[in-house]
Structure 1
Amino acid sequence: MGEKRERGVDEKRSEHVGVRARGGSLAPGSVVGDGRYRLLAQFGIDERAGAHLWRARDGQLRRDVALTLLVGDPADAESARMARRTLERAAHAAKFTHEGVARVLDVLSLGNGITSSEGLLGVVVTEWTKGTDLIDLVAEHPVAPLTAARMVQKLAGAVERAHHAGLVLGLDHPQRLRLTTDGTLRLAFPGPLPDATLRDDVKAIGAVLYLLLTGRWALPGGPAAIPAAPHAPNGRLVPPRALVPSVPAELSSLAVRTIEDGGHGGIRTSAAILQALELAAEAEERTQLINASGVKPDDDGTIWTTKKPVKDKARRRKLALGVTVLVVAAVAILAWLGMLAISFFQDSPTAGPPINVAQPTSTAAPPPTSSEVPPPTSGSPSGQAQLGAPVKPASASVYNPDGDGDNTSRAKNLIDGDPGTTWRTDQYRQQFPTIKQGVGIIVNFDNPINLGKVTIDGGSAGTVVELRAADSKEPPLSSTRVLGTATLNGPTTDITLPQPQQGEYFVLWISQLTNSSGKYQSQMGELTFLPAQ
């Protein structure tokens, strides 16, 4: 039933978009790639690259795949050159893995999987993404602002990781994206344009946010099925809030600042938009929480979830007086108990003469000479080293020897002196080390310090961490040395070293994430490094 409905939607979409293969050779039921892939349904066309987007059936492996068919004339040298560039970029992305990007399975080119008689310049084969395309998603009404922000936030995470790997994803066309069954956006038809840049990916994130909020596409070359975003007489893009008043001002401004190139305050990197999206989403979540609870913030911004306290001066004076009386009484009782203890252990004149205890003569050891007296230990009476004032690291960055880091743009929050600004890992579906060994934060100091203790503020309860010493900023995990371990629990967690460790580089390594309903993710607020004196 679901397959029949999807097929009907596909046929309706094809008629609505008006996609038609050049020469009419591509149609449902025809085969490409030396007869291996049978075309099932067309999901769109990116006219800028002559890229036709199809769902197909792999006859050898008996599974559905997504095909990006580069249609063109092999005799056209320029078209063939551009197609080769797209195929090269797709091939480079074959090793890139992220839940926000469909995995590239194969890349076919002329003479290598396809023939000139097929009317194709190349084919990018990727795994099929179940779900809904964006045309269907926004056909009836825009997406709720908070939902849109969270959806785009995960897509921006994929862009951020790809850019760190030096890859351009090419998601600046809405029909290349699909909404998965678990509610996340995914690049389902990879194959970036030959001249696409990192900046184009960033602008595409803003355009996707604009589309979800308004149902309009704000970049050139969009499909006919989606209305184009309007522009003001001065040429500036009309903000989403002007079209849909319920869109929060922060999200509306974010979409425009990401898409437009000119002006101050523009967002030009994936890391910047990822951070801005998270802040905007958190602000919208707080707004929804306030609206749902029916309470209003106080003048100073405080939100009272119970009855707001009455500002009664007389009541406060009475309360202060009562507390003072209690404190004085407690001090008096403690003083009385102290006098009793002193009198109990103190010699009394009526207790009789003192008792002399004879010392053994044959087994007593002679008192130690000055050379035998052990030197005083540094640190507290218990033997622990005395600690000095905190030393701030010169930098903090995500340490991930298995690949790219998690939320790299927020690593600096751990050393900014504010426990309220946090860094968090990506969300994983399996616990470490199933997916990878772990992930961490590496800090370095301008000069080596004699580290005695590290304090972790605002850590997720249940997270297991290791403090490791390193010799460089990007060392292999095997070359680092474990100095101490801890399980985060409570507002703060300390890792006190048995012996101070001299070093310039230290790693806080997460070996086990916090488990919340089968989703694994951890966060921390602030790292404080205390040297031993």
Structure 2
Amino acid sequence: MNEKRHEQPGAARVGVRAPGASLAPGSVVGDGRYRLLAQFGIDERAGAHLWRARDGQLRRDVALTLLVGDPADAESARMARKTLERAAHAAQFHHDGVARVLDVLSLGNGITSSEGLLGVVVTEWTKGTDLVDLVAEHPVAPLPAARMVGKLAEAIERAHQSGLVLGLDHPQRLRLTTDGTLRLAFPGPLPDATLRDDVKAIGAVLYLLLTGRWALPGGPAALPSAPHTPNGRLVPPRALQPQVPIELSALAVRTIEDGGHGGIRTSAAILRALEMAVEAEERTQLIQAQAAAGVRPDDDGTIWTTKRPVKDRARRRKLALGVTALVVAAVAILAWLGMLAISFFQTDPDTGPPLNLATPTATAPPPNSAAPPPPPPPPGQAQIGAAVVPTKVSVYNPDGDGDNTSRANKTIDGDPSSTWRTDQYNQQFPTVKKGVGLIATFNDPVNLAKVTIAGGSADTVVELRTADSANPDLSATHVVGTATLNGPSTDITLQQPQRTQYVIVWITQLAKNGGKYQSQIGELTFLPAT
């Protein structure tokens, strides 16, 4: 793999100047020990300049994180000391996913004020490719991207168990090694970096590999920023690259975004989710490879490794004639048995009037009498009125792009057989995402008392929620009812009518079918209180 360098504008010519110093290729730092060779990036947030250098004493290449600033600035000097302290602690940590810290230099201990530096972190040099160059032409395929991030997540988990923050929330601090794994090549966490920042960085790196865009603030100018929806939510990778599996797309977004139900906040949770996503993607690729090779599952799930059995037309015709003859014979026998039954129970005029088999308490209503009125509703429950139809129904998915959005309005077309379906998932909610649902919008607020769901997938668990807008955060909605779908239709009756203009049918658990997870809804009926 060719090793590349990503230069900052003007870095090769001038770099950053300070009194009596110039950072440029050929310059020396650290009391003349390290000769600068090439710059690989700048983390502007910390004034950290990332260089490849030559160790003149040990005659080997090293990676330098140069903390550039004014020594007279007390705040800059304090932040630099904090970064150096954290880097020194990381020197005791060893993992293939993190370059080994060789030395930490500070003012008066390896560097002088004339060099214009506040500190230097020296680490072993990592051969490979700059992460920016890796995605410059096109994003990385989903399966390799997941594997790359998995190795990095392992290092994060090990470090966090030791109480260490690694500080990898800048793409130019990472490099792809010659064996295809990601590595933190320029350690040196920001003074205020937290464990959560490391976790968010894993999601941002996954997002970058899948889309070529950086989703955290403070990234390099060479990388485009990740787009956001009008309500400020991060656009999922799948919306930018349709070949990205739903699981990986949701994992990236849930890891980066703060707050909310279902977010991923630990590296251990990321590792588990990545393992499942890799397993699902490998299985999908195996099925696709089998299909390309002519190895296809039959209708009953059987896989024929050569070819399907030959279907003989003559044999099929004989079989059809035989089945027809059996059906005719069965009908004749049933008709004969029916005649016997009628003859047995028919009244014989010589034996008197037929027996009265009615129970004494079962009395028929007198002719032309009015039917009894329906029972009143239970105390405290509102009287239900005629159904109201929303102006539209759309897919509600706070994690980003929705499922099967073009068919959402099928749920209010009056035909339960025309359905809306979720996407098909390899894992159950909330492992993949918090959930997905439908949001109904009415012209005017309605005093909602009951919702009927027809044609729904059995064992699907739903929450009925109300909202104040057409695109709310899930945390801003209110649960007013829950149900598990079962049978042709399921009613969700509210304990108290709710006046609202926006109603969400939120799926929290999908129906399972053949190892996959997917649910459908045929028709939604909204009933107000009178």
Q: Same fold (TM over 0.5)?
A: yes
Matches within 5 A, 1:197-346: 197-294=194-291, 295-297=295-297, 305=305
Alignment partner of 1:66 is 2:63 = yes
Paired position in structure 2 for 1:83? 80
Query: SS at the partner of 1:55?
Result: strand
Paired position in structure 1 for 2:8? 14
Query: SS at the partner of 2:41?
Result: strand
Find 1:180's aligned residue among 177, 181, 185. 177
Unaligned runs of 5+ in 2: 316-530
Count how many residue pairs are aligned between Structure 1 and Structure 2. Answer: 308
- Deviation (angstroms), 1:25: 1.2
Matches within 5 A, 1:407-418: none
User: What is the CA deviation profile of residues 65-118 of structure 1, one whole-angstrom value per residue up to 9, with x for unaligned ones?
Assistant: 000000001111111111111100000010111000000000000110001111
Query: SS at the partner of 2:39?
Result: strand
Alignment partner of 1:41 is 2:35 = no
Paired position in structure 2 for 1:160? 157
User: What is the CA deviation profile of residues 187-241 of structure 1, one whole-angstrom value per residue up to 9, with x for unaligned ones?
Assistant: 0000000010111000000000000000000000000000000000010000000
Q: Indicate if the aligned counterparts of 2:15 and 2:22 stay in contact, CA closer than 8 A.
A: no
How many Å separate the matches in 2 of 1:73 and 1:300? 73
How many Å separate the matches in 1 of 2:109 and 2:7? 32
Query: SS at the partner of 1:80?
Result: helix
How many Å separate the matches in 1 of 2:260 and 2:157? 23
User: What is the CA deviation profile of residues 267-303 of structure 1, one whole-angstrom value per residue up to 9, with x for unaligned ones?
Assistant: 1000000110111011101101110110455678776
> Which is greater in Rg?
2
Find 1:192's aligned residue among 189, 194, 199. 189
Paired position in structure 2 for 1:125? 122
Residue identity opposite 1:148 in structure 2: A
Q: Give the ranges of 4+ consecutive aligned residues of structure 1 lying more than 4 Å apart after TM superposition.
A: 16-19, 295-311
Q: Per the alignment, do residues 191 and 310 of structure 1 end up closer, same or farther by CA in structure 2, a change over 3 Å counting?
A: farther
Q: Per the alignment, do residues 16 and 206 of structure 1 end up closer, same or farther by CA in structure 2, a change over 3 Å counting?
A: farther
Residue identity opposite 1:88 in structure 2: E
Q: Per the alignment, do residues 74 and 236 of structure 1 end up closer, same or farther by CA in structure 2, a change over 3 Å counting?
A: same
Residue identity opposite 1:230 in structure 2: P
- Deviation (angstroms), 1:265: 1.3
How many Å separate the matches in 2 of 1:254 and 1:296? 31
- Deviation (angstroms), 1:20: 3.3
How many Å separate the matches in 2 of 1:303 and 1:276? 29
Q: Indicate if the aligned counterparts of 1:17 and 1:225 stay in contact, CA closer than 8 A.
A: no
How many Å separate the matches in 1 of 2:92 and 2:309? 59
- Deviation (angstroms), 1:263: 2.0
Q: Indicate if the aligned counterparts of 1:16 and 1:225 stay in contact, CA closer than 8 A.
A: no
How many Å separate the matches in 1 of 2:92 and 2:187? 13
Q: Indicate if the aligned counterparts of 1:241 and 1:249 stay in contact, CA closer than 8 A.
A: yes
Query: SS at the partner of 2:83?
Result: helix
Q: Per the alignment, do residues 266 and 166 of structure 1 end up closer, same or farther by CA in structure 2, a change over 3 Å counting?
A: same
User: What is the CA deviation profile of residues 314-360 of structure 1, one whole-angstrom value per residue up to 9, with x for unaligned ones?
Assistant: 9xxxxxxxxxxxxxxxxxxxxxxxxxxxxxxxxxxxxxxxxxxxxxx
Find 1:104's aligned residue among 93, 101, 105. 101
User: What is the CA deviation profile of residues 141-167 of structure 1, one whole-angstrom value per residue up to 9, with x for unaligned ones?
Assistant: 000100000000011001011111111
Q: Per the alignment, do residues 251 and 305 of structure 1 end up closer, same or farther by CA in structure 2, a change over 3 Å counting?
A: farther
How many Å separate the matches in 1 of 2:137 and 2:36? 28
How many Å separate the matches in 2 of 1:94 and 1:300? 58
How many Å separate the matches in 2 of 1:270 and 1:299? 41
Q: Per the alignment, do residues 119 and 146 of structure 1 end up closer, same or farther by CA in structure 2, a change over 3 Å counting?
A: same
How many Å separate the matches in 2 of 1:310 and 1:279? 39
How many Å separate the matches in 2 of 1:165 and 1:310? 63
How many Å separate the matches in 2 of 1:70 and 1:302? 63
Q: Indicate if the aligned counterparts of 1:22 and 1:71 stay in contact, CA closer than 8 A.
A: no
Paired position in structure 2 for 1:458? none
Residue identity opposite 1:186 in structure 2: R
- Deviation (angstroms), 1:48: 0.4
Q: Per the alignment, do residues 303 and 127 of structure 1 end up closer, same or farther by CA in structure 2, a change over 3 Å counting?
A: farther
How many Å separate the matches in 2 of 1:173 and 1:82? 18
How many Å separate the matches in 2 of 1:151 and 1:61? 32
How many Å separate the matches in 2 of 1:50 and 1:257? 30
Which moves more between the two structures, 166-175 or 12-21? 12-21
Unaligned runs of 5+ in 1: 315-533
Residue identity opposite 2:236 in structure 1: P
Q: Per the alignment, do residues 258 and 296 of structure 1 end up closer, same or farther by CA in structure 2, a change over 3 Å counting?
A: farther
How many Å separate the matches in 1 of 2:216 and 2:27? 33
How many Å separate the matches in 1 of 2:69 and 2:121? 15
How many Å separate the matches in 2 of 1:300 and 1:226? 49
Work out the percentage of aligned pairs sharing the same amino acid: 86
Residue identity opposite 1:20 in structure 2: G
- Deviation (angstroms), 1:13: 3.0
Paired position in structure 2 for 1:114? 111
Query: SS at the partner of 2:218?
Result: coil
Residue identity opposite 2:205 in structure 1: V
Paired position in structure 2 for 1:401? none
Name the TM-score, length of structure 1 as normaliser.
0.55
Query: SS at the partner of 1:205?
Result: helix
How many Å separate the matches in 2 of 1:302 and 1:78? 69
Paired position in structure 1 for 2:28? 31
Q: Indicate if the aligned counterparts of 2:11 and 2:24 stay in contact, CA closer than 8 A.
A: no
Q: Per the alignment, do residues 310 and 199 of structure 1 end up closer, same or farther by CA in structure 2, a change over 3 Å counting?
A: farther
How many Å separate the matches in 2 of 1:17 and 1:141? 26
Find 2:131's aligned residue among 114, 125, 134. 134
Paired position in structure 1 for 2:444? none
How many Å separate the matches in 2 of 1:56 and 1:41? 7
How many Å separate the matches in 2 of 1:97 and 1:300? 51
Q: Per the alignment, do residues 81 and 228 of structure 1 end up closer, same or farther by CA in structure 2, a change over 3 Å counting?
A: same
Name the TM-score, length of structure 2 as normaliser.
0.55
Q: Indicate if the aligned counterparts of 1:17 and 1:223 stay in contact, CA closer than 8 A.
A: no
- Deviation (angstroms), 1:264: 1.7
